[in-house]
Chain A
Amino acid sequence: MGTRTEVLVIGGGSTGCGVVRDLARRGVDTTLVEKGTLTNGTTGRMHGLLHSGGRYAVSDQASARECIEENRVLRDIAGHCVEETGGLFVKRPEDDEEYFQEKLQGCRDCDIPAEVLTGAEAREREPYLAKDVEKAIAVPDAAVDPFRLCVANAVDAENHGARVETHAEVTDLLVEGGEIVGAEVTHESGKGPREHGTPGEVEEIYADHVVNAAGAWAGRIGDHADLDVAVRPSKGVMTVMNTRQVDTVVNRCRPKGDADIIVPHETACILGTTDEEVGDPEDYPEEEWEVDLVIDTLSELVPILQEARTLRSFWGVRPLYEPPGTGTQDPTDITRDYFTLDHEERDAVPGMTSIVGGKLTTYRMMAESITDHVCEKLGVSATCDTADAPLPGSERPGDLEAAMERFGLRSPVARRSAQRLGSRTEDVLASCDPNPVVCSCEGVTRAEVRDAIDDSGTDLNAVRIRTRASMGNCQGGRCAHRMAAELHPEHDEATARAALDELWAERWKGQRHALWGEQLSQAMLNRAIHGATMNRDNDPARTDDAVDWDAFDGGRSDAGEGEVGEEGIHGD
């Protein structure tokens, strides 16, 4: 009872989504499986920087050139996922002048537009920069929304006939006669969009070729066929600040180091990062010193960070890879380049290619090269068009402004929606009337939430990454339950409740690392609302007893006249 596809892509991060889009556009019948939501692994746990290449202009000029090229491509094809913030490499008095000059020269060598600003000019752009910042190099860094980007790739792939399955974990590789012929996939809740409470099933997916794009988990996939894919996962912390202290990407201009970047991302700023090799991509310590380090160190560049409110911290693992025998000790020295491991050539096991390493900025270029490789194997001659074809949402850049004018929403809310939805704005916002704001921290309306539910089922974390609902300063305190309520009436109460619990647990996870100052007050308020007012910490609905609905009265019979109905309101 297996299913067939030409290519099976494992992993729903930027690489996997890029590959499935490229293959589908070339007419190849493709299926993508991801064990969580899209971007569940490394991609959803990055700081959202679209590199100009400036970061690699000294250490790795080949990467720098790729970055600037892809940076330009993504501004074109994914305008609604990219915010053109610009970036600065700032130099403090204690940072090395020689390195500053090397960086500048490096940018020029790699064709990265670079302009030197005095300290005063830099502060004019970013008033919260430290007063003693001496000078800066301005480069075309930008902010990219990895969630929106991956979803857009997946949607485009589906529009071209691909099948995308989330919450579908590869539990084994199918090997026949020494050849990989597919994978055994365990669906968490059946095929199609996730539905809480639906029983799972196991599916064998046969493919002409398998692409292992599982990132830090690529080694685990390889293990199923006794292939050695030596990914070295390296963790890094990212701390989310409540507001945008800077509107430009701020990098520290010094050789590699921890805690040297601030990325403005939507309504927040993300501080990063650390670099520590870990043994297991899913189980590693999330340590408070890492959070302290990024805040303390980056406060040297932007002092206001020291007293700003921290929303949460999250950790990601980089899927670093080095060819066997390199023997690098320090993970920061491992190249960020990507590698295509054709297991037929490498291990004499045909049927699968693994992709490791790489970075989000060049995901499309990587996808193109992998797709070329796979197409050659399959004998497909179609060429790649992903550098020119806009992603869904970015087809008509002019639509954004027009749509913003049209909807009777509060202006900043309408603008936020339009920026998220791009050319889909009209279709989505017009689908719902009335269209109240569901998440006020991020200005997300019911229309967007419902649109996301249509796409991803009862998975509220998938709704979250599509809309940003619950990602603001109350971290879901005032909207998680409203999001769950939007699942009704298509889904029943128990399903909505399970979905809410899952979202709530995920929101809580990152807040544990921000429990001081205002965010502690916030957590207490959230606890008061959810634990006490909604009685979610001692909920009769989940104890053994059924809810005694008869204990409630019928409410007002005619709210319009403000009269109490015959049932009455007891003990007002």
Chain B
Amino acid sequence: MSDAESPSDDFEPIEVFPDEETPDLRPGADDCYKCSTCDTNCPVAEVDDDFPGPKFQGPEQWRLKRKEDASVDDSISKCSNCMRCDSACPSDVGLSQMHNTARAEYVEEELSKTSLTYWRNRILANYRTSAFLASKVPRIANFAMNFGPARWAMEKTLGVTSEREFPEFATETFREWWERQGGADGSRERAREARERRGEDVDADKRVAYFHGCYANYNTPEVAKSLVRVFEHFGYELVVPEQRCSGTPMFANGMLDDAERHAEVNVSSMGDLIEQGYDAIASCTSCSMALRQEYPELFDIDGIEDVAENTWEALEYLRVQEDLSGELAGAEVEDEHLASLAYHAPCHARNQGLDGQALELFDDLAGVDAEDVGDSCSGISGTYGWKEEKYETSMKIGEEMFDHMEDAEGEVGMTECPTCAMQMEHGTGYEIRHPLEVVAAALT
């Protein structure tokens, strides 16, 4: 026998264990030949000598495990789920899948369900629930969440760092605004007008389902509004289906059951639309990453592959479907604020091969000068940097990015990821914008 030709792609650990909660990932350890490239690309390992790194967390730990073993090493909670190891690996080892699964097993088997850490993590991971409540009374929430004594108490009892400012809740959520704009019906009309204006077939089949994620809905509706304006400009009809959290913060906290409940809703509503010919788009790179990669790796939900295959990051979609760079090359941005931008590529954008796209797009855009601040990780990684015990690590990782931002020409930052934006703002005091806002400023 010889398997010199690469092994078939049929093997899918989840299919082997249809009734098991956690897949057996030991066979995946076969592909790791210990080159350690993952370790050299891990931002946590770079600043924390006690962290054994992705190679140990993933293939080594899985290989050392026996099926009945429960003890996953507790260092797994030091992994921030940036997923850089995935793209670093030359042999396609499913490192983040191994980490996510190990973390879930650790939380399930070894973290006390009555501990404050568990509940702190659970509250942080279920940001959508808190945001939903806060958005009902945004002004009070904004005051209360950043009220000094309350924050002191949160740090002391729950271990949520008081160093950071909670993001502001918008006084009107994106979905409220969307309804005010007439929802899907309004969008259809505006899209038809745009197609007519552009000289395209008025009845063209240009339909997308927008996965806005929690943050664009509750905190930065201006990003979501920009997306709507840009897509309608190109003649796309949008729908904003029912959706829950993408699950990213839950993966990172080992709360796979929570994540699966949310994923089921998302896969079902996005799946229905995809069946009707829609494509799914997201403005948050962690959300698109979850739908595209993490869902099919971790869950066995009907229709999950279809959703994964038809999900796109918003600008990526337009670059493929439309002459986005052509239109941008002929456009100009007059907003002084956007004249000079310090751009940071989020790790999850990097993993989808999207790290260069914003810079490329804005190269020929008059009035905008976007500068890359390097390939370091911002360090916040969603809920990671919010934990009191991780705050320092998170800031150490971010240091390189802060320095490069300050070194860059612009005083305004730009990134696709909402938590990277938090970290950029926290570390430099800069205002942070989303590339979609720049595109919207140029085209609409």
A residues sitting closer than 8 Å to B (CB atoms) are 127-128, 242-245, 247, 267, 291-292, 295-296, 304, 306-309, 410-413, 415-416, 440-443, 472-474, 477-478, 516-518, 520-522, 525
Contacts and interface: CB of A to CB of B under 8 A. Distances in A.
Contact of B91 (A296, A443, A521): A521
A517 B4 contact: yes
Nearest to A128: B16
Interface residues of B, number: 38
Contact of B31 (A245, A247, A442, A518): A518
Given A247-B66, A416-B64, A441-B60, A296 B31 contact: no
A214 to B, nearest CB: 35
Contact of A518 (B11, B33, B60): B33
A15 B383 CA distance: 60
Nearest to A410: B73
B73 A411 contact: yes
A516 B2 contact: yes
Contact of A525 (B34, B55, B64, B74): B34
Given A307-B7, A410-B73, A247 B91 contact: no
Contacts of A242: 29-30, 63
11 contacts: A243-B27, A410-B75, A411-B73, A416-B64, A441-B63, A474-B33, A517-B3, A517-B4, A520-B4, A522-B33, A525-B35
Contact of B71 (A244, A291, A411, A516): A411
A247 B1 contact: no
Q: Which of A243, A291, A517 has the most CB of B within 10 A?
A: A243
Given A440-B34, A473-B34, A306 B74 contact: no
Interface in B15-63: 16-17, 20, 24, 26-27, 29-35, 52, 55-56, 60-61, 63
B52 A473 contact: no
A518 B89 CA distance: 13
Contacts of A410: 52, 56, 61, 73, 75
Interface centre among A306, A410, A477, A521 (most CB of B within 10 A): A410
Contacts of A243: 26-27, 29-30, 63
B72 interface: yes
Nearest to B68: A247
B34 A441 contact: yes
Contacts of B262: none
A77 B24 CA distance: 32
A516 B4 contact: yes
Interface in B257-272: none
Interface of B: 1-4, 7-8, 11, 16-17, 20, 24, 26-27, 29-35, 52, 55-56, 60-61, 63-69, 71-75, 91
A197 B73 CA distance: 42
B24 A127 contact: yes
Q: Which 5 A-B pairs have the closest CB atoms?
A: A307-B7, A309-B30, A412-B64, A522-B33, A411-B71
Nearest to B62: A243
B14 to A, nearest CB: 11
Contacts of A291: 1
A244 B26 CA distance: 7
Centre residue among B4, B29, B30, B71 by max chain A CB count within 10 A: B30
Given A127-B17, A306-B3, A473-B33, A267 B63 contact: yes
Contact of B29 (A295, A442, A473, A520): A473
B1 A292 contact: yes
B35 A304 contact: no
B2 A518 contact: no
Contacts of A296: 1
Contacts of B35: 525
Contacts of B63: 242-243, 267, 441, 472-473
Given A473-B32, A474-B34, A415 B7 contact: no
A412 B1 CA distance: 33
A412 B69 contact: yes
Contacts of A443: 60, 64
Nearest to A125: B67
Contacts of A245: 26-27
A242 B27 CA distance: 8
B106 to A, nearest CB: 9
A282 to B, nearest CB: 28
A522 B32 CA distance: 9
A409 to B, nearest CB: 9
Nearest to B70: A411
Contacts of A307: 3, 7-8, 11
A443 B16 CA distance: 28
B2 to A, nearest CB: 5
Nearest to B72: A411
Nearest to B17: A127
Nearest to B6: A517
Contact of B33 (A127, A292, A415, A521): A521
A207 to B, nearest CB: 45
Nearest to A523: B33
B158 to A, nearest CB: 26
A438 B427 CA distance: 39
A243 B28 CA distance: 9
A266 B257 CA distance: 31
A288 B390 CA distance: 53
Nearest to A414: B71
Contact of A516 (B3, B26, B67): B3
A518 B29 CA distance: 11
Contacts of A295: 1
Contacts of B33: 473-474, 518, 521-522, 525
Given A307-B3, A410-B52, A440-B34, 7 more contacts: A244-B67, A412-B60, A413-B64, A413-B73, A518-B31, A518-B33, A522-B34
A295 B56 CA distance: 29
B1 A306 contact: yes
Contacts of A309: 30-31
A534 B27 CA distance: 31
Nearest to A413: B64
A412 B71 contact: yes
A525 B91 CA distance: 13
A247 B16 CA distance: 15
Contacts of A516: 2-4
Given A127-B16, A307-B11, A473-B29, A440 B3 contact: no
A557 to B, nearest CB: 22
A450 B328 CA distance: 66
Nearest to A264: B66
Nearest to A245: B27
Given A307-B11, A473-B29, A412 B91 contact: no
A69 to B, nearest CB: 27
Contacts of B55: 440
Contacts of B60: 412, 440-441, 443
B74 to A, nearest CB: 7
Contacts of A525: 33-35
Given A292-B1, A308-B30, A440-B34, A244 B16 contact: no
Nearest to A268: B63
Contacts of B91: 518, 521
Contacts of B4: 516-517, 520
Contacts of B11: 304, 307
Nearest to B20: A127
Given A242-B63, A243-B26, A411 B74 contact: yes
B34 A412 contact: no
A411 B106 CA distance: 11
A304 B26 CA distance: 12
Nearest to A241: B30
A295 B31 CA distance: 18
A413 B74 CA distance: 12
Given A127-B16, A412-B71, A441-B60, A244 B34 contact: no
Nearest to B110: A411
A48 B8 CA distance: 31
A443 B91 CA distance: 22
Contacts of A478: 34
